[in-house]
Structure 1
Amino acid sequence: MKKVLLVAAGLSMSFMGLAQKKNVTTAIQAMGQGDLDEAQKAIDAAVLDESTKNDEKAWMTRGDVYLKLMEAGKVPQDKAIQEAANSYMKVVQIKPDYKTADMDTRLLNIASSYYNTGITAYNNKQYPEAYNALELPVKIHDLDGGKRFAANKSFDTVATEANRVRAYSAFYDNKYDDAAIILNKLKDNPITEEPNNYLMLAEIYSKQNNNAALIKAIEEGRKKYPNDANLRNQELNIYIKSGKTDELIKKLEDAVAAEKDDKVKAELYFNLGNTYNNMAFPKDAAGKDMAKPANYTDMVAKAIAAYQNAIKLEPTKAEYQYNAGAVYFNQATEVNNKMNAITGNTAADNKKFDDLKKQRDGYFTQALPYLEQTYNLLDAKASSLSQDDKYTYQASMMALREIYSRTSQLDKAKAMKAKMDAAK
């Protein structure tokens, strides 16, 4: 009796396996006859059964069925393509050499379709959708550790571009960890080697307050792209924020010496001037004036020289003109404060006052041509100034009015006040 039972069990299993293989055949026949509901039912049953769940033909058929279901409008496109892709990739996992040419064609068509879907979503600023859609062409490309499509260089480019857009999508969706993982791969890929990878990584690490990673990314980027102005500016900003002024000055001086483009060189000189100026007139965290450094005179002279070099290269840049004039104007203001502090009326007091006035007016005289040039450059386009230029424009008028008033050029002072009132 026991032997009969064992034989019966074996027969049962055999019939079940035949039934599932029959399901594969049924699915193929039903699909050919246009009965897609029956095809779907049969093939879904086949790939769930133990006897056929690892059958490459079953999975290939399932992929074909779902694409037919999509064409007939019976399954939404995204779901159908995803199911088909998963089915075809399962075929490759089970038997990599199964109908290789046919499988590659199927997989590449799906990769192309989802790539286009992802790019459209990205262009429409649908970042989560773009990120998810573009994962599929990357997965297909990476089958068998990337070996399956290694000879297909155009697919290499498509998959890499998909990864790039995935990184951007994650970044704009504030998924910074996901973006950083992809960007760290892109920066070493010959297809996507570019400074922007490091700039985006730097921005991510800055938002995450990860200074160590930020500095590492910028240093690596600068080493790889020493002439990229954006990376250089990022590096300079790091030194400015960290207060490493000596290192910053050395970096700026080296950058100035290496730069060939006059416009970029002028900007570097301007940054160098600002650094010296900040060192000459230090302020605390609250913006209040601090004691001058021992090398104050040297810092002022270097600031002015740097601004003058910037102006020589770009004389029509109002910001450069204004900052050069502001160095002299600020010195004049400090002298004027000393004059106001004199309360006595002795001969010595009067002499001290007159000496200070002469010194102050000397600074005003030096500031005047820079501030007047600033005003003239911006007044000519006053109706279309940016916010930064508007600030510089107004500041130059205030400084000029002060100089004209203090140096008894009252008609000019009056005209400048009228100009200021009209500009409000």
Structure 2
Amino acid sequence: MKTKFKIIIGLLFFSLTTFAQKDQVKILKKIYAKEIITDADLVDYKKNATKYGDVAIEEEDKVYSEFYKSILPILEINALGANVTTMQKANFINMETISDLSSGLNGTLDFEKKTGKKLYTDKINETIRNFKPIFWEYVVVLDGQKKYKEVSQAAYLIYQLDKKDLERLYIAAEYALRAKEYDKSIQYYNELNALKYTGESTTYIAKSKVNDEYNAFSSLAERDIAVKIGTHTDPKIEKTPSRTGSIYKNIVESYIAKNDIPGAKKAIVDARLTNPDDTSLILTEANLYLKTEDFDTYKKLITEVLAKNPNDADLFFNLGVISSKSKDGQAEAEKNYLKAIQIDPKYRNAYINLAVLKLEGETKLLDQMNKLGTSPADSKKYDVLKAKREGLYKSALPYLEKAEELFTGDADIKSTLLNVYNALDMTEKAKALKAKK
């Protein structure tokens, strides 16, 4: 009898729980479906959503319980009416809101896809379409506050809500790198590569006669119709180049920042295999070897890039810097700096580095001069060393004067040139330079 009694009590409890669940779900469904939601509805909704979650045992109940909880901020915004302001909406949108929605809505979509019972699928997709711009406004605010880690997190959550929107995943990766969240940036960039994202796109635009602003059209045909009927003029095509090279570059940079050189080298090998002719990837590989001070490999790779792009002043400048570090590389460094100036006559750092190159050895000469005594023999040696030192100054002078002419007001250039003038006893030129503003 006792056993039967326990079973009856258990069945009764189960029946009461099931009945309560059904009653809670009925109330939640009713409020969710309303076009106009009152404050009283929200109180009722919160109370029943909590109760439903407390007694949810079956998978279906757990899924829908999370759905009803996650959708609450959307209902709260809708309850503010048609004239709700952006500021009012922002009060309900934060990282937790977006995270809960991403989890709750995606969980429901996955469950309904698995069971074939599409109770809320269409409504969820509509909600995502309508509210994604509002979520993105929150991301823009975070960006304005320079909260790059949070921007990355929020962008990734929004991508989770709409996995067709790979731009959000790309932004999540970019901001993870900015925030020095290197593991995340590698994860997101690799996810983009796995999805064969390039970022390459073509946009069809034309100028509206209403406000003289350019509007984008979904297709070439749609834009041409607008031009034909006279609502728009000045049709154009805007192309966004592929981001593949920069994605691989940033993966490598993330590994380097983690001080994971083997990981960086593997990543660049994979990148070069995928895009063997991408010069930006060759440059990335070159910079990797530069960081590891493998200057020979660096020069080899830069030379490879220059064969494809012989008018890149920066590359010649970089080669100059590397050459100047080797024991007998001064002549090669000078040649590369001059080539950079030939390509870009206003290449400030090339002029400065040429002057520095010419002045190399000046400290050694000065030390030797200071060690000499006052004997006739030492005096002769002093004069020889002094002449050599003046020769260094005179060889650097044309580059410093040209730099000062091009970049008048540059404090570093002016100071260095004044020192050279004084060393060469060029008093008048020193006075004139000092008088310059």
2:270 is the alignment partner of 1:249: no
Candidates 63, 73, 77, aligned match of 2:92: 77
Percent identity between the two aligned chains: 20
CA 1:42–1:415 in structure 2 vs 1: closer, same or farther (change >3 Å)?
same
Candidates 386, 397, 404, aligned match of 1:375: 404
2:54 is the alignment partner of 1:48: yes
- Tell me if the contact between 2:159 and 2:168 (Cα under 8 Å) persists in the aligned partners: yes
Candidates 259, 284, 293, aligned match of 2:309: 259
* 2-structure distance, mates of 1:241, 1:336: 33
Residue in structure 2 matched with residue 122 of structure 1 by the alignment: 143
CA 1:213–1:423 in structure 2 vs 1: closer, same or farther (change >3 Å)?
farther
- Structure having the higher helix fraction is 1
- Tell me if the contact between 1:322 and 1:396 (Cα under 8 Å) persists in the aligned partners: no
Deviation at 1:19, TM superposition (A): 3.0
- Tell me if the contact between 2:21 and 2:55 (Cα under 8 Å) persists in the aligned partners: yes
User: Which residues in structure 2 correspond to 1:283-294 (within 5 Å)?
Assistant: none
Candidates 74, 80, 93, aligned match of 1:67: 74
Q: Over aligned residues, Cα RMSD in angstroms? A: 4.2
Once the two structures are superposed, what CA deviation does each residue of 1:291-344 show, in whole Å capped at 9, x if it has no partner?
xxxxx3xx3332332233233223333432343344344367766776777766
Residue in structure 2 matched with residue 275 of structure 1 by the alignment: 322
Deviation at 1:50, TM superposition (A): 4.4
CA 1:25–1:393 in structure 2 vs 1: closer, same or farther (change >3 Å)?
same
CA 1:336–1:131 in structure 2 vs 1: closer, same or farther (change >3 Å)?
closer
CA 1:53–1:309 in structure 2 vs 1: closer, same or farther (change >3 Å)?
closer
Once the two structures are superposed, what CA deviation does each residue of 1:74-102 show, in whole Å capped at 9, x if it has no partner?
99623666656544434334332323433
* 2-structure distance, mates of 1:90, 1:40: 20
Q: TM-score, normalised by structure 2?
A: 0.67
Residue in structure 2 matched with residue 18 of structure 1 by the alignment: 19
Deviation at 1:61, TM superposition (A): 5.9
- Tell me if the contact between 2:279 and 2:305 (Cα under 8 Å) persists in the aligned partners: no
Deviation at 1:54, TM superposition (A): 1.7
Q: TM-score, normalised by structure 1?
A: 0.69
- Tell me if the contact between 2:251 and 2:264 (Cα under 8 Å) persists in the aligned partners: yes
CA 1:52–1:69 in structure 2 vs 1: closer, same or farther (change >3 Å)?
farther
Deviation at 1:233, TM superposition (A): 5.6
Stretches of structure 2 that go unaligned for 5 or more consecutive residues are: 81-87, 200-242
Residue in structure 1 matched with residue 260 of structure 2 by the alignment: 210
Deviation at 1:17, TM superposition (A): 1.6
Deviation at 1:356, TM superposition (A): 6.8
- Tell me if the contact between 1:128 and 1:169 (Cα under 8 Å) persists in the aligned partners: yes
CA 1:77–1:415 in structure 2 vs 1: closer, same or farther (change >3 Å)?
same
Residue in structure 1 matched with residue 111 of structure 2 by the alignment: 94
Structure of greater Rg: 1
- Structure having the higher strand fraction is 2
Deviation at 1:232, TM superposition (A): 5.6
CA 1:85–1:98 in structure 2 vs 1: closer, same or farther (change >3 Å)?
farther
CA 1:227–1:369 in structure 2 vs 1: closer, same or farther (change >3 Å)?
farther
CA 1:243–1:38 in structure 2 vs 1: closer, same or farther (change >3 Å)?
closer
AA matched with 2:317: F
- Tell me if the contact between 2:352 and 2:399 (Cα under 8 Å) persists in the aligned partners: yes
AA matched with 1:68: L
**Aligned length in residues:** 370
